[in-house]
């Protein structure tokens, strides 16, 4: 636990120093949302209909901002080899690194989403489901990105390849997340899509770190 705690503190400090923390993600989130009315026009009803998709796509893109640096700093400094030889299981180490990334990016986005949702004319009844969906779903985006980061860690400037690998795998999460907000805005129950979204997240908590650890070991062979 001491090792994992030290890794968590180190990752949060690195996220703050290299600009991959909450500030950058929130600014990107805000800019993207602010540009939407200029792109689709002043029709509030249209903006309200597409707002859930816009918020989730903005959350996905904001999460992608720091993914290419999630493991790259360790690779450049030779820390990856030490992690592979450490007594602590590598999947646990990678899970802690993913948690630190989510705390620095996904959690602030989920907290700020209701305030930004007001800019997109989202129904007040959908604000709480929106926050819950982002709290439950954004860890999946980070864990999928962790696998992509592990696959591309040995490549220079692998950010574009990382996005190509990650984006198709996020489609189920985006579908369930958008469905939750739309159903809540329409006054319908959201328990089923929320449970499905939670199931995807739990699955990725189990599979993501193991797959990322296998990708890192494969890169060394």
Complete DSSP assignment for 153-201: TTSTT-HHHHHHHHGGGGHHHHHHHHHHHHHHHTT---HHHHHHHHHHH
pLDDT value, residue 165:
83
Whole-prediction pTM value? 0.86
Q: Kindly list the domain boundaries of the chain, sorted by start residue.
A: 2-219
Instruction: List alpha helices for the chain, DSSP H.
Output: 2-17, 22-40, 44-64, 72-77, 79-85, 90-104, 106-117, 127-152, 159-166, 171-185, 191-219
CA atoms within 13 A on the CB side of 44: 6
The interaxial angle of helices 106-117 and 90-104, nearest 10 deg, is 30
Residue with tokens 């600014």: 27
Task: Note the Cα 62 to chain centre separation in Å.
Answer: 8
- In tens digits, the chain (221 residues) has pLDDT values of 677 888 788 777 777 666 555 566 677 777 877 787 777 777 777 877 888 888 888 888 878 877 767 777 677 666 777 777 777 788 898 898 889 888 888 888 888 888 877 777 788 888 889 899 999 999 999 999 889 888 888 776 656 777 888 888 999 999 999 999 888 888 888 899 999 999 999 999 999 999 988 888 887 66
pLDDT value, residue 210:
93
CB atoms within 10 A of CB 172: 13
CA dist 141 and 163 (Å) reads 11
pLDDT value, residue 217:
82
Rg over CA atoms, the chain: 18
pLDDT value, residue 76:
67
Are 62 and 109 in contact, with CB atoms under 8 Å apart?
yes
Residue with tokens 């080899």: 81
pLDDT value, residue 157:
64
58 by Cβ neighbours in 10 Å (0-12 / 13-18 / 19+) ranks as: buried
């Amino acid at each position: 636990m001491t090792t994992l705690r030290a890794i968590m503190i180190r990752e949060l400090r690195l996220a703050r120093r290299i600009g991959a923390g909450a500030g950058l993600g929130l600014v990107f989130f805000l800019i993207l949302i602010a540009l939407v009315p200029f792109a689709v026009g002043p029709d509030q009803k249209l903006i309200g209909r597409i707002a859930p998709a816009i918020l989730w796509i903005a959350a996905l893109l904001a999460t992608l901002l720091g993914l290419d640096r999630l493991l790259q700093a360790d690779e450049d400094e030779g820390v990856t080899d030490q992690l592979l030889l450490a007594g602590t299981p590598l999947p646990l180490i990678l899970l802690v690194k993913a948690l630190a990334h989510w705390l620095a990016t996904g959690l602030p986005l989920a907290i700020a989403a209701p305030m930004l949702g007001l800019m997109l004319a989202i129904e007040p009844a959908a604000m709480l489901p929106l926050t819950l969906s982002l709290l439950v779903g954004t860890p999946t985006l980070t864990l999928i990105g962790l696998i992509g980061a592990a696959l591309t860690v040995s490549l220079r400037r692998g950010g574009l390849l990382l996005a190509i690998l990650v984006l198709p795998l996020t489609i189920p999460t985006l579908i369930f997340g958008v469905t939750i907000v739309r159903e809540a805005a329409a006054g319908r129950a959201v328990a089923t899509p929320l449970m499905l979204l939670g199931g995807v997240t739990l699955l990725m908590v189990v599979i993501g770190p193991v797959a990322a650890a296998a990708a890192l070991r494969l890169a060394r062979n």
